[in-house]
Amino acid sequence: MKAGQCREAVQFTKMSAATNHGISLSATIDGDGIGGKDWDLNDSYRYCERIARSHYENFPVGSVIVPKYLRKYFYSIYAFARTADDFADEGYENNHSEEERLDCLRAWLQMLQECLRGSASHPIFIALSDTISRFSLPAELFEDLLSAFSQDVTKRRYESYDQLLDYCRRSANPIGRLILLLFGHRDEALHLMSDAICTALQLANHWQDVRIDIGKDRLYLPLEDLSRFAVELETLIECRASSGLRRLIEFECERAWSLFEKGKPLCTAVQGRLGIELRAVWLGGARILRGIRKNEYDVFSSRPVITKFDKLAILIGAVTRSSF
């Protein structure tokens, strides 16, 4: 399937904001525009905003923490990543083949490359091109995200912890770096601390969701660690919490804790609204790990969740810096 032949596959992105505003999801993905419309820059940013707001539960930062003058730039990055993530993930519900989903991701990469050359015609990439130019954002951060999304489609197991860290480097860390860059933080030392927090948070989410991922035939626990703790793959597939598995989960959680601690200084080094958000992210990840520990590392019988009380405590802690 060529880039210009992704018209049908692009329908499964489920961009409800686009649907609600009369934009056809069967629009071309090859740079001819959407619905035959010529998009100007302001309309393109508004299009990205509609996508972000349609996924509000996943993007509260766009309306509260981010200063108004920066929000549209966040929306363009979010719309780019959200759509690509839908290409990678939504196939479970919509019965699209791996190859169809990969074709759409390849087309999205081609459109990114056109965007970087200044020849975008899709509204997401028109807005993104302006954002990249204004903030001198590295192209490789966007390319890394697409590489990770493609890996989501094809890779079900990770042989080693190093393989898993490499996946996190491409799937989680770019977002943290992009946020810092939008706020004007270009110090590599801060970026490395952000990498540690982003990777730690992704690991915490993986260990929180072991049972959910097993149901999708996906396993993030490194196979080398299963061997180390004498955990049989069949035990995981059957969702049985053996003593070996508990020790394994504890081991992986300690790794995540170490990364959270490595990145913790970022939470006080960055001031203002972004500092509050960073502290909230850090505290939220810590709550997940504490929840797993409270369940005695049994990730099958109970899944730790962030309650409304937890969210209030996290907000108070982030504002008062009581844990930092």
Residue-level pLDDT at 30: 43
Instruction: Provide the CATH topology of domain 1-141.
Output: Farnesyl Diphosphate Synthase (1.10.600)
d(CA 182, CA 73): 8
Structure tokens at 156: 């079900």
Which contacts of 60-68 are long-range, i.e. CB under 8 A and separated by 24 or more positions?
A: 61/277, 65/273, 65/274, 65/276, 65/277, 66/273, 67/273
Residue-level pLDDT at 57: 53
Residue-level pLDDT at 6: 52
Q: Are 248 and 185 in contact (CB under 8 A)?
A: no
Residues 6+ positions from 271 with CB-CB distance below 8 Å: none
d(CA 278, CA 114): 33
- The residue whose two tokens read 């491409």 is 170
The model carries a pTM of 0.88
Burial class (CB in 10 A: 0-12, 13-18, 19+), 11: middle
CA–centroid distance for 49 within its chain:
18
Which residue ranges in the chain fall short of pLDDT 70? 1-36, 56-64, 90-94
Residue-level pLDDT at 93: 58
Q: Are 17 and 94 in contact (CB under 8 A)?
A: no
Residue-level pLDDT at 4: 44
Tally Cβ neighbours within 10 Å of residue 308: 7
Residue-level pLDDT at 177: 98
d(CA 267, CA 275): 6
Residue-level pLDDT at 36: 54
Q: Are 129 and 51 in contact (CB under 8 A)?
A: no
Residue-level pLDDT at 22: 30
Element (H, E) at 148: helix 139-154
Domain boundaries, the chain: 1-141, 155-324
Q: Are 146 and 163 in contact (CB under 8 A)?
A: no
d(CA 257, CA 308): 23
Task: Check if 1-141 and 155-324 are the same fold.
Answer: yes
Residue-level pLDDT at 44: 97
Helices and strands (H and E) in the chain: how many: 17, 0
| Segment 207-224, tens digit of pLDDT | 999 999 999 999 999 999
Tally Cβ neighbours within 10 Å of residue 205: 15
**Candidates 1.10.600.10, 3.40.50.1820, 3.20.20.60, 3.40.50.1370; CATH matching 155-324:** 1.10.600.10
Q: Are 124 and 47 in contact (CB under 8 A)?
A: yes
Residue-level pLDDT at 140: 98
